[in-house]
Amino acid sequence: MKKSIAFLVLSTGIGCSSLDHDRDTRGEHSEEHTDSDRPHIETGFVSMFDGESLNGWAEMLSHGENAWFVRDGMIVGDGDKGRGYLAYDQGDIADFEMKFSYRFPGDGNSGLNLRARKDPTGTRDFQSYHVDIGNVGIGKQVLGAWDFHTPGRTEHACFRGDRLVIDENDQPTVTAIDGAVTLDDINQGGWNDVHVVVMGNHFKFSINGKPSAEFIEHLPEEKRLDKGMLQLQLHDPEMIVGYRDLSIKVLR
């Protein structure tokens, strides 16, 4: 991505253009999400999305504008309108649990940046740890993986089904997760549920109730990302991604 970045705070109604063209050209179908469909918010969790607006979110794009908007009770990212991030505008967060559902009607690459902060090296727009998701078929190095947006240290591989331990010398050990999610567990073109848990140096997430990828890092604290923003990612042109049922329990 380019190093320059525009920060646009969105308010109710901005960017809520019709997806009719996208449905015609990329197979997107409007899907009403009613109150009766919404899952109960568990004790200790709070909703991150009111289902009607992008209040509490801020668009941070490297290309385009108004690429994130609300449609039929979901947050929609349109890669033809721009690329970059939609940040949860509630300050820096360290430890948390987060739940959300995502859907790709076609091909696409998205995910969740956590403990994100501007990259002082200028190599990336942001440094972060990244929950990687994409369409079925994109590969286990993306769908269900952890990605490291960490210039200045090793950006380790932690694919779907992997448990990664990083020692104090930044050396990795990877083992397989028993009972990990597989492509057969993921709804192609449909909604999938993600549960992210971040506690100190331990990071893991599941898809549709099955563990996807996990890592533990033992690096010196000055080399870790200790807190930062939460950001939804819009990675590619010619893609659509939908998010709904976003909730969070902030632990620190």
- Delimit the domains of the chain by residue range: 6-250
Question: What pLDDT does residue 31 have?
Answer: 45
The residue type found at 15 is G
Q: For residue 177, which of 165, 168, 191, 187 has the smallest C-alpha distance?
A: 165
Per-residue pLDDT tens listing for the chain (252 residues): 433 333 333 333 333 333 334 444 344 444 444 444 555 678 899 999 999 999 999 999 988 999 999 999 999 999 999 999 999 999 999 999 999 999 999 999 999 999 999 999 999 999 999 999 999 999 999 999 999 999 989 999 999 999 999 999 999 999 999 999 999 999 999 999 999 999 999 999 999 999 999 999 999 999 999 999 999 999 999 999 999 999 999 999
- Is the CB of residue 166 less than 8 Å from the CB of residue 219? yes
Measured CA to CA, the distance from residue 206 to residue 187 in angstroms comes to 14
What pLDDT is stored for residue 43 in this prediction?
Answer: 80
Strand bridging mode 57-64 / 172-176? unpaired
What is the per-residue pLDDT for 106?
Answer: 96
Q: Which CATH code is given to the segment(s) 6-250? A: 2.60.120.560
pTM of the model as a whole: 0.85
The confidence score (pLDDT) of residue 152 equals 87
pLDDT score of 14: 33
